[in-house]
Chain A
Amino acid sequence: GTLTWFNSLLGFHRVKMKTPTKELNQVKVPAKILVADVKDVLESGVSTEKQEYLLKLLILSLIYLLAFSTRLFSVLRYESVIHEFDPYFNYRSTKYLVNEGIYNFLNWFDQSAWYPLGRIVGGTIYPGLMATAAAVYWVLHAVNITVDIRNVCVLLAPWFASNTAMVTYLFAKEIKDESAGLIAAAFIAIVPGYISRSVAGSYDNEGIAIFALILTYYLWVKAVKTGSLFWSAACSLAYFYMVSAWGGYVFIINLIPLYVLVMLLTGRYSSRLYTAYCTLYVLGTLLAMQITFVGFQPVQSSEHMAAFGTFGILQLFGAFNWVRSHMTPENFSRFFKTTLLAILAIAFAGFAIGVATGYISPWTGRFYSLFDPTWAKENIPIIASVSEHQPTTWASFFFDLHILTFLFPAGMYFCFSKLTDANIFLIIYGITAVYFAGVMVRLMLVLAPVACVLGAYAVSCTLQTYAKHLKKPNPVVVSASTSKRAVTVAQALPVQRELGAIMLSGIGIMLVLYAFHCTWVTSEAYSSPSIVLAARQHDGSRLIFDDFREAYRWLGQNTPDDARIMSWWDYGYQISAMGNRTVLVDNNTWNNSHIAQVGKAMASPEDKAYEIMRALDVDYVLVIFGGLTGYASDDINKFLWMVRIAGSTDPNIIESNYYTPRGEFRIDKEGAPAMLNCLMYKLCYYRFSEVYTEQGRAPGYDRVRNAEIGNKGFKLEYLEEAFTSQHWLVRVYKVKTPDNRGGIVNL
């Protein structure tokens, strides 16, 4: 309609120009066509193309708004505050970047963390997150919308989640078609597996990394389908953004070579694949090495060797294909065997020399534990102790994916029944993502996007089949004997239209239930700021525990500026960001033996611990205690990990000493003497025996361990209590300094 009208317009113009003398006759005919076409357009209203386009635009805008607003629960319930532990470090770094500038940020050496070692922040972080937040901040300030940096950080992840939904639409559209794209975008806007790491306030790398991941994969599929240098280069730029954002970029640089190898094995080699991968590998590696933290790893570490090897194999494949087209078959087979053996021998020798001399570093612990999950449990307790690194149970899968757990294998089936280059990528991504999500709960985040796309694939295929049923009229029932011709389509059912309607409404109900589940999970499970706790009282009203911020503010205002705080590494980032004090160990956990020193101090009796604390120049000790409120993630529950980590460097700390003879971990009268006299026990339960915690129980009843404490009424010799928060959640103690003659002085 529109196009022919435009063409006819051009035609009218051309006719007019060509024959100016015979104007009157010539003008009439084009004018008639013009008038007729305009009337056509006006009568049919907006054409179907335009209708579809407007509908798509409306759906995408709704999805954009939905993805943003569903992540705002905690901001509406509490306030706009940064959650958890890691985001506080990111927030502090972003503030530093915004205040000091880019070059000072890249060269930043932080003296207030890991006392006395310090931390080279500029070279040990992925700067993408801070750079993105700072860029948003500067852009907004340039147009005089002065948003505070804290609000930019809190709301960055929801905004990027909306962008992720848009990119997922493009990704699914590239693999199947637009309807699958829309469903995929709707799925990923609310899928709980992604929401858990991208709520408002969760200012962490994953919030922008998933956006970069899907963008890279979309551009990669586009590059393979078109074989154009432009899309491959765009893919490398997206890969660079991913490298700057998250350590999980290793997944991309191993998945894409795996895909290339599978394509070679299934006989789908093409020049498009060659162009796409070579461009991505060369440009991507060069760009990845610009990030200081990554440095020379892309040419040195084992995690990147697969990409390098595939690069070589692809060159060999292309070269042999070219040679074969120029040689006779017998010559070629001789040439092939000798050359291949020679090249493989040289490559293997080079690789062996690299590994033997240590130039090619082995797989780091974090990634090695993905292949051998039992390795971390025995060798590196720190990696094993993080709750996010535990393997996944079925309930976690169902909780985070809901109906996508059913739609995932269905989507795989539809992909396998019609294999294309893009489908194979989706299949491989799906298989590897499921395996890695099974090994580590945290990697459910990587499974969520591919589950959404595969689920959308399945739903789209099913909907298309049954929507076709709706459109066809019900056939007249023909007896089997009269229809002799071969059946080319499936025999139509007499209740075809009704069946189509039932199936469409059934799928619609399933999607509505998905939306209910996702909203419930977001509201109940994934929207707690964890820096502020809430509990429900008997009469239904809410009680807020703001002890953490109270304690950190006390630290910031009542201790000397250069005071050093010893606490378990979980709280290091929060103390640095909110209390603004020097800490000994923090969540970066880069120095295992320094953490082991802290663990040893916590697990030793008071006098031994005092020696260690004096050696480390500690002024204050901070512990988290949940026995009064029933807060279960306190330091006594983490204590065994402190013992294990301390025991990994000091063989004198034996874990079984802290258990009862029967092998239980108890803090009541039956508890082990080593447990009842260690520093952690004394700091947590000091003066606790004077407190009544529950009706009908003796004083000193620990509400988390459900037991009355065993060691009561003791006095502290080398420390004194400095601060206890309102609900006894955070307790700060001052380390006494010795006097001139070596005794202990109260200063």
Chain B
Amino acid sequence: MSDITELPFSFLRVPQMRLRTPNIPRPSPMVVFWLVFLSYFLVLSGIIYDMIVEPPSIGSTTDSNGNVRPVVFLQYRVNGQFIIEGLSAGAMFAMGGMGFIILDKSNSKSLSIKNRYFLIMSGVLCILIAYNLCLVFLRMKIPGYMVTSS
């Protein structure tokens, strides 16, 4: 019976293949963490705002002589940005986070004293630079930041 049903297909030659379901290994927690860190950087740069509102990547003004000068920060509005502005601010946030991570890594076991000093210094420097640059950016956007008007 099975010979008859197999007859129409007798001209086919079955290839010698060994298919297995691919074995995707589970990623280690730190790999997942760095992926999350990358997506955090992107989201906090306002990439979703960029995709929907489609602002220019950098603004421009014409000054009194007629020259076109670039403007990096969209002024007077917290709820608007240019693309480059968002990415640079996101880089600052990421750098600040990296500072704390470096500070923690400086306490790991297999480090010489020189390396420990180096890591601590760079961690503190990352945090200081990131925080102060963020304040500079914000003051460029909103000139009245931290100026009490009442």
Residues 421-454 of chain A: 1 if any B CB is under 8 Å from the residue's CB, otherwise 0?
0000001000100110111010000000000000
- CB contacts (< 8 Å) of B51 on chain A: these are 373-374, 391
Asked whether any CB of chain A lies closer than 8 Å to the CB of B44, the reply is yes
Given A392-B49, A408-B97, A398:B80 Cβ within 8 A? no
Report whether A419 and B29 are in contact in the complex, using a CB–CB cutoff of 8 Å. yes
Asked whether any CB of chain B lies closer than 8 Å to the CB of A261, the reply is no
Q: How far is the CB of B68 from chain A (nearest CB, A)?
A: 20
- CB contacts (< 8 Å) of A396 on chain B: these are 78-79
- Chain B residues numbered 72-110 whose CB sits less than 8 Å from any CB in chain A: 78-81, 85-86, 89-90, 93-94, 96-101, 103-104, 107-110
Given A373-B52, A409-B37, A434-B40, A487:B29 Cβ within 8 A? no
Residues 220-244 of chain A: 1 if any B CB is under 8 Å from the residue's CB, otherwise 0?
0000000000000000000000000
Q: Which of A408, A416, A439, A491 is B113 in contact with, Cβ under 8 Å?
A: A491
Asked whether any CB of chain A lies closer than 8 Å to the CB of B149, the reply is yes
Report whether A441 and B131 are in contact in the complex, using a CB–CB cutoff of 8 Å. no
Q: How far is the CB of A478 from chain B (nearest CB, A)?
A: 11
Name A390's closest neighbour in chain B (CB-CB).
B79
Report whether A493 and B93 are in contact in the complex, using a CB–CB cutoff of 8 Å. no
Report whether A416 and B30 are in contact in the complex, using a CB–CB cutoff of 8 Å. yes
- CB contacts (< 8 Å) of B59 on chain A: these are none
Report whether B96 and A406 are in contact in the complex, using a CB–CB cutoff of 8 Å. yes
Report whether A410 and B100 are in contact in the complex, using a CB–CB cutoff of 8 Å. yes
- CB contacts (< 8 Å) of A394 on chain B: these are 44-46, 81, 85-86, 89-90, 93
Q: Which of B33, B39, B117 is A413 in contact with, Cβ under 8 Å?
A: B33
Q: How far is the CB of B125 from chain A (nearest CB, A)?
A: 12
Report whether B40 and A506 are in contact in the complex, using a CB–CB cutoff of 8 Å. no
Chain A CB within 10 A, most for which of B26, B90, B101: B101
Asked whether any CB of chain B lies closer than 8 Å to the CB of A524, the reply is yes
Q: What does DSSP make chain B's interface, helix, strand, loop or mixed? A: helix
Asked whether any CB of chain B lies closer than 8 Å to the CB of A367, the reply is no
Given A394-B90, A395-B141, A490-B111, A266:B26 Cβ within 8 A? yes
Name A488's closest neighbour in chain B (CB-CB).
B109
Asked whether any CB of chain B lies closer than 8 Å to the CB of A83, the reply is no
Asked whether any CB of chain A lies closer than 8 Å to the CB of B71, the reply is no
- CB contacts (< 8 Å) of B39 on chain A: these are 431, 434-435
A-B contacts counted at CB < 8 A amount to: 163
Report whether B146 and A434 are in contact in the complex, using a CB–CB cutoff of 8 Å. no
Report whether B148 and A416 are in contact in the complex, using a CB–CB cutoff of 8 Å. no
Asked whether any CB of chain B lies closer than 8 Å to the CB of A296, the reply is no
Bound-state CA distance A488–B109 (Å) is 7
- CB contacts (< 8 Å) of B124 on chain A: these are 506
- CB contacts (< 8 Å) of A441 on chain B: these are 79
Name B55's closest neighbour in chain A (CB-CB).
A393
Name A407's closest neighbour in chain B (CB-CB).
B100
- CB contacts (< 8 Å) of B146 on chain A: these are 516-517, 520
| Stretch binding the partner chain, chosen from A84-92, A153-161, A458-466, A726-734 | A458-466
- CB contacts (< 8 Å) of A398 on chain B: these are 89, 93, 134, 138
Q: Which of A410, A493, A524 is B117 in contact with, Cβ under 8 Å?
A: A493
- CB contacts (< 8 Å) of A408 on chain B: these are 40, 97
Chain A CB within 10 A, most for which of B49, B127, B130: B49
Asked whether any CB of chain A lies closer than 8 Å to the CB of B58, the reply is no
Q: How far is the CB of B73 from chain A (nearest CB, A)?
A: 9
Report whether A491 and B116 are in contact in the complex, using a CB–CB cutoff of 8 Å. yes
Asked whether any CB of chain B lies closer than 8 Å to the CB of A405, the reply is yes
- CB contacts (< 8 Å) of B40 on chain A: these are 408-409, 412, 434
Asked whether any CB of chain B lies closer than 8 Å to the CB of A399, the reply is yes
Report whether B116 and A397 are in contact in the complex, using a CB–CB cutoff of 8 Å. no
Q: Which of B86, B97, B111, B120 is A409 in contact with, Cβ under 8 Å?
A: B97
Report whether B86 and A431 are in contact in the complex, using a CB–CB cutoff of 8 Å. no
Report whether B96 and A393 are in contact in the complex, using a CB–CB cutoff of 8 Å. no
Given A413-B100, A458-B100, A377:B116 Cβ within 8 A? no
Chain B CB within 10 A, most for which of A391, A437, A499, A520: A391
Report whether B36 and A462 are in contact in the complex, using a CB–CB cutoff of 8 Å. no
Asked whether any CB of chain B lies closer than 8 Å to the CB of A300, the reply is no
Report whether A523 and B148 are in contact in the complex, using a CB–CB cutoff of 8 Å. yes
Name A423's closest neighbour in chain B (CB-CB).
B29
- CB contacts (< 8 Å) of B120 on chain A: these are 499
Asked whether any CB of chain A lies closer than 8 Å to the CB of B112, the reply is yes
Bound-state CA distance A374–B54 (Å) is 11
- CB contacts (< 8 Å) of B48 on chain A: these are 373, 391-392, 438-439
- CB contacts (< 8 Å) of B37 on chain A: these are 409, 412-413
Report whether A493 and B113 are in contact in the complex, using a CB–CB cutoff of 8 Å. yes
Bound-state CA distance A153–B94 (Å) is 41
Report whether B108 and A434 are in contact in the complex, using a CB–CB cutoff of 8 Å. no
Name B142's closest neighbour in chain A (CB-CB).
A395
Report whether B45 and A405 are in contact in the complex, using a CB–CB cutoff of 8 Å. no
- CB contacts (< 8 Å) of B52 on chain A: these are 373-374, 377, 390-391
Q: How far is the CB of A414 from chain B (nearest CB, A)?
A: 7
Bound-state CA distance A403–B138 (Å) is 13
- CB contacts (< 8 Å) of A387 on chain B: these are 79
Bound-state CA distance A412–B36 (Å) is 9
Report whether B78 and A490 are in contact in the complex, using a CB–CB cutoff of 8 Å. no
Bound-state CA distance A572–B150 (Å) is 33
Bound-state CA distance A420–B148 (Å) is 45
- CB contacts (< 8 Å) of A391 on chain B: these are 46, 48-49, 51-53
Bound-state CA distance A52–B131 (Å) is 33
Residues 120-140 of chain B: 1 if any A CB is under 8 Å from the residue's CB, otherwise 0?
100010010011001000100
Bound-state CA distance A435–B47 (Å) is 11
Q: How far is the CB of B134 from chain A (nearest CB, A)?
A: 6
Bound-state CA distance A594–B93 (Å) is 45
Report whether B81 and A395 are in contact in the complex, using a CB–CB cutoff of 8 Å. yes
Residues 468-497 of chain A: 1 if any B CB is under 8 Å from the residue's CB, otherwise 0?
000000000000000000011111011000
Bound-state CA distance A438–B117 (Å) is 37
- CB contacts (< 8 Å) of B30 on chain A: these are 416-417
Bound-state CA distance A665–B36 (Å) is 42
Report whether A417 and B29 are in contact in the complex, using a CB–CB cutoff of 8 Å. yes
- CB contacts (< 8 Å) of B142 on chain A: these are 395
Residues 629-650 of chain A: 1 if any B CB is under 8 Å from the residue's CB, otherwise 0?
0000000000000000000000
- CB contacts (< 8 Å) of A438 on chain B: these are 43-44, 46-49
- CB contacts (< 8 Å) of A462 on chain B: these are 100, 103-104
Supply 6 A–B pairs (Cβ within 8 Å), ascending by A. A391-B49, A394-B85, A409-B100, A416-B30, A416-B33, A506-B124
Contacts from A to B (Cβ < 8 Å): 265-266, 373-374, 377, 387, 390-399, 403, 405-410, 412-414, 416-417, 419, 427, 431, 434-435, 437-439, 441, 458, 461-462, 465, 487-491, 493-494, 499, 503, 506, 510, 516-517, 520, 523-524, 536, 542
Instruction: Please give 12 more A-B residue pairs, beta carbons under 8 A apart, in addition to A392-B46, A416-B33.
Output: A266-B26, A393-B49, A397-B44, A405-B93, A405-B96, A409-B100, A412-B40, A434-B40, A434-B44, A438-B47, A441-B79, A490-B109
Contacts from B to A (Cβ < 8 Å): 26, 29-30, 32-33, 36-37, 39-40, 43-49, 51-53, 78-81, 85-86, 89-90, 93-94, 96-101, 103-104, 107-113, 116-117, 120, 124, 127, 130-131, 134, 138, 141-142, 146, 148-150
Q: Which 4 A-B pairs have the closest CB atoms?
A: A406-B96, A409-B97, A410-B100, A391-B49
